[in-house]
Homo-oligomer: A and B are copies of this chain.
Amino acid sequence: MNRNSILRPDTVRSRNTTAILDAAELEFAEYGFKGATIASIAKRSKLPPANIHYYFGSKELLYQTCVERIFDIWKVAAEALDEIDDPVVALSLYITRKLDISRERPSGSKIWANEIIQGAPTMHAFLAKDLYDWTDSRTALFRKWQSEGRLKPVNPNTILYMIWATTQHYADFYHQIRVLNDGKELDEAQWEEIKSDVCSIILAGVGAKSDFSAK
């Protein structure tokens, strides 16, 4: 009955739970909670359906475990805005990290998108508490920068939303981007160009300036 084995070595249990979570992440990302099926997750993970209930108890609990795993990854990117007092460096680093995550783990972003579209039935508490507080302290930082003339006076929330929207667009809408890229995957050089262009547009857009005295 024990769960939550994001644990050590190469036990049968750890291998199976990881395989199930990986499969579930793809399935939930593609079809949302309602549209996903245990049978399909079982097939993707090459395990019998009953095994999934054995490890996770229910579809709901599997989903929650999936979501928690995503949060852990996103928290790391969020730290970029925490300790750096230079808007140019802080925003560039945050945007770059978020784009890296969109590239490497698009499923996480898609699950989040599905959740919010559906009105966040599962994540509502997280939104209203953790994300609210985080956003609040970040917009306070933006306001400080604005008062120092290092950021243009626009609504700080709008700045955050634009960064989230744009960076996650490269995960959620990757299929569309690939079609418009002549059906080809984005290559290394293109990803670098995207990072550079998005940073350039946002930084110029919000009028981000490094501290003059430090220059």
Contacts and interface: CB of A to CB of B under 8 A. Distances in A.
Interface stretch (A10-18, A68-76, A162-170): A162-170
Copies in the assembly, this chain? 2
Interface residues of A, number: 56
Contact of A201 (B124, B128, B170, B202): B202
Main secondary structure of the interface of A (DSSP, over half): helix
A77 B134 CA distance: 35
A198 interface: yes
Given A117-B30, A204-B152, A157 B169 contact: no
A175 B116 contact: yes
A180 B194 contact: no
Contacts of A35: 31-35
A57 interface: no
A124 B180 CA distance: 11
Given A152-B204, A158-B197, 20 more contacts: A30-B117, A31-B34, A31-B118, A32-B32, A32-B34, A110-B117, A114-B114, A117-B173, A120-B179, A124-B179, A127-B180, A131-B179, A131-B180, A154-B197, A158-B198, A161-B173, A162-B198, A165-B173, A200-B205, A201-B206
